[in-house]
Amino acid sequence: MKKIIVTGSNRGIGHSIAEYLAKKHYGIIMVDYDSSINETGSQMNDLYGNVEGIQCDVSSYEKCEKAFSNVDRSEVYGIVNNAGINRDVMFKNMTYEQWDAVIKTDLYSMFNVTKQFINSMIENNSGRIVNISSASWNGNIGQANYSAAKAGAIGFTRTLARELGKYGITSNAIVPGFIKTPMTDSMPDKIKEKFIEKIPLKRIGTPEDVANAVEFLMKGESGYINGILLDVGGGMIL
């Protein structure tokens, strides 16, 4: 059974990715900060089989070591580093805490989780790493912390693509545009309308739009796609 770790999968894009992949008969380890992930995992297991939930704060290396200690490393085929938060504020008003929380959750988490499984993926001589970046990687007003983390995710992705390709492991990033999730639901309507104006397809993306792209990269047939940024933004360019 090929198992895939999906971080931040209690809701939003991560939940959709986990469900989409479970429907395609991958085993799924759903990981989230919220302890209700155990219940979510069990409900998904009833629906699709081979799904479990693990509670973990992926911004902490020590917590990742502990939370994943019982996972059979040899079964893990893929990692989707999706967990992320934003704390948007102009840089002049940004606190150290707002900077630190976003960098730790959105960027350090990729190291913390990937590091737990990389040696076994190398031993298996196969694997897929998919990192969820953002169109904001290119710089966006009010997002110095988030943009820095999401740009960092791209450097991380491309470096792993170069280092790990020889072990049959691919590393790719997905760059979602504006996707309807709890993260974006809280934005003022005026800002949402401005985003939609910029999107040639004239609609907000769905979590399933992103999940479909992840599933494409997970496929065995996608094994020659390595080090790319796959834009899922309906043509929006920030």
Cite the active site residues.
146
Considering only the stretches 44-52, 55-63, 117-125, 155-163, report the one whose residues sit in contact with ligand NDP under the rule CB under 6 A. 55-63
Q: Closer to ligand NDP at the Cβ: 124 or 132?
A: 132
Residues ≥6 apart with Cβ < 8 Å to 122: 164, 167, 169
Choosing from 22, 80, 179, 236, the residue that interacts with ligand NDP (CB under 6 A) is 179
- Touching ligand NDP, residues 81-110 (CB under 6 A): 82-85, 105-106
Considering only the stretches 18-26, 31-39, 42-50, 90-98, report the one whose residues sit in contact with ligand NDP under the rule CB under 6 A. 31-39
CB of 126 to ligand NDP, least distance (A): 25
The whole-angstrom separation of Cα 203 and Cα 27 is 32
The whole-angstrom separation of Cα 104 and Cα 91 is 17
DSSP at 68: T
Choosing from 41, 78, 152, 176, the residue that interacts with ligand NDP (CB under 6 A) is 176
Q: What is the number of other CB atoms lying within 10 angstroms of the CB of residue 139?
A: 12
The whole-angstrom separation of Cα 203 and Cα 73 is 40
The secondary structure element, H or E, covering residue 43 is: helix 37-48
CB of 238 to ligand NDP, least distance (A): 10
Beta strands in 84-154 (DSSP E): 127-132
Q: Is 12 in the site for ligand NDP (CB under 6 A)?
A: yes
Q: Is 213 in the site for ligand NDP (CB under 6 A)?
A: no
Tokens of 163: 């280092």
| Residues binding ligand NDP (CB under 6 A) | 7-8, 10-14, 32-34, 57-59, 82-85, 105-106, 132, 134, 176, 178-179, 181-184
